[in-house]
Structure 1
Amino acid sequence: MTAGTPHLGVGIGWRRDIDITVERLDVDFVECVAEDVNPRRIPESLRLLRERGLPVLPHAVSLSLAGAQPVDTDRVRHLARVATALDAPLVSDHVAFTRAGSWEAGHILPTPRTTDSLDVLVENVRRAQGLLPVPLALEHVAALVEWPGAEFSEAEFLSRLVDRTDCRLILDVANLYANAHNLGTDPREFLDAVPLDRIAYVHVGGGTWRDGVYHDTHAHPVLHEVLDLLAELHARTSPPGVLLERDDQFPSDDELAAELTAIRTAIAR
């Protein structure tokens, strides 16, 4: 476990559509989308979970840390205010960009894995860290295509990022599965090379196949193969926490509870 990283247990992504469901589930922590939270008006459900002692971790999706432009300090300050309002032990975003100039992608996009791209990412991460009251964790992303001219593997790129910024990592086993099938990467080689001791926590999400491509939708059940990767990870290390992501097409409370049970079973293999 990373020094200073709290033990989190098994959690779920908090969304307004399932706020009451999350309150009823047997979870140890939750993660919320930082951009959806007004730090001056914390949703009642999140306040209730905090009163119960559950950590609430803000997860940003729009910092665009891997973009060529300097990081938007207003967005970082919003993340900082949400973290303070929730008394969060850490915050997170992605190794990705979401905008270029005036163009907004509306989605997180992978960064080229080059020396120049790494230098830009490191500079933006350091600027963000200087404005945040708690540690920053960064998540690798699921991608449908790769930029040409890669100088590093994804694991090596992340390792260099960690070495230069001392950030933490969110390891997403569903993203590993997606990239293995869409890009031909080897998830076990990734696990061999990435700094597992820097993991803040783990993401697990569902997806679906469409025309031979695996889409990481966060709107479908978690595949058994993704749970196998979770078990593989836990055979190598004991991450502080594992979180179930679900963003759309929410199933019944019983189905969500069953997915949490499946996660606990994979961890205990």
Structure 2
Amino acid sequence: MASKESIDWLEIITDRYLDGNEKDGELHALREQFVLIPHGLEMSVGSGDPLDLDYVNAVARVVHAVDAPWFSDHLCFTRENGIELGNLVPTVQTLDKAKSIAANAQRVQDIVGRPFLLENIATYMEMPGELSQTEMIRAVLDNCDCGLLLDLNNLLVNSVNHAFDPFAYLEEIPLERVVQVHLAGNSEDAHVGGMLIDSHDAPVGRQVYELLDWLVQRRPELPAVMIERDTAFEECAQELDADLSRARSIVARHAAGSRTR
């Protein structure tokens, strides 16, 4: 497994640290060794319900405890009418909803006082509305000054499930707003009901690396790229090392090329 000296930074799941107390020591120990980026699950910026300000303030406590340069959550909703849905649910794709999401995201960023990124999620149904997926992302970002966490595996999954060109998708979103990138892989049996599932349980796939290469050619000074792996860490040490090396080589090659032009 890669030594800690070879790891530039870590993403932590914000929700695991909201209660503080016994988890504060773990946060402090991690912060002593790594730059930490909190990534949340329950901000629910796409909900019709008001923002949960207790939750926002708890997130802010974690963000400031680790002195994070930014923090993130998902462009979706996880509760509605006071009901916790237990999943990342895509919203309708309308201009009104985009403006509502943007207003919520901007308020979160203003309260926490650090840059807030929204992540594109994997979806398994076509959502109603007058906007495409890329138009929805652009409309949200046009109405707030938050950033984008671009998950390239989620993009690939959606391109398979909804039959579109992922490179055309990248052409249509504001790449200048991308602050962080997620890379991940899906096992060969990651299909349910004919849909490819975002499973995060395999090495990063060839097509995801191709998307990263395309992206970094056009955004060579991309601030941050990370590998997501949700299962079997002990068994996949060599795979993680290989993924880190390959991602670093892609980013370094294009960054070097941009400096020589």
> Shorter-normalised TM-score: what interval?
0.7 to 0.9
Which of residues 224, 232, 245 in structure 1 aligns to 2:214?
A: 232
Query: TM-score normalised to the size of structure 2?
Result: 0.87
Which of residues 152, 163, 168 in structure 2 aligns to 1:184?
A: 163
**Bigger helix fraction:** 2
Q: 2:259 is matched with which residue?
A: none
* Pairing 1:1-269 to 2, within 5 Å after superposition: 24=4, 26-37=6-17, 38-42=19-23, 46-52=27-33, 54-148=34-128, 150-208=129-187, 209-210=190-191, 212-238=194-220, 239-250=222-233, 251-267=235-251, 268=253
Q: Which runs of 5+ in 1 are unaligned?
A: 1-20
Relative contact order, CA 8 A, sep 6+: which one is greater?
1
Q: Percent identity, aligned pairs only? A: 34
1:164 shift after superposition = 1.2
Match of 2:86, SS?
strand
Per-residue CA deviation, residues 155-178 of structure 1 (Å, 9 max, x unaligned), is 222222112111101011101100
Per-residue CA deviation, residues 120-140 of structure 1 (Å, 9 max, x unaligned), is 212211221221121111111
Match of 1:118, SS?
helix
Q: Cα distance 1:63–1:184, how it changes in 2: closer, same or farther (>3 A)?
A: same
For these two proteins, the number of residue pairs brought into alignment is: 247
- Measured in 2, the distance between the counterparts of 1:226 and 1:241 equals 16
Q: Answer whether contact 1:168 1:198 (CA < 8 A) is retained.
A: yes
1:51 shift after superposition = 2.3
- Measured in 1, the distance between the counterparts of 2:230 and 2:25 equals 20
1:87 shift after superposition = 0.6
- Measured in 2, the distance between the counterparts of 1:83 and 1:41 equals 17
1:49 shift after superposition = 4.1
Match of 1:176, SS?
helix
Q: CA RMSD in A?
A: 2.0
Match of 2:135, SS?
helix
Query: TM-score normalised to the size of structure 1?
Result: 0.85
Q: Answer whether contact 1:219 1:249 (CA < 8 A) is retained.
A: yes
Q: Which runs of 5+ in 2 are unaligned?
A: 255-261
- Measured in 2, the distance between the counterparts of 1:252 and 1:220 equals 8
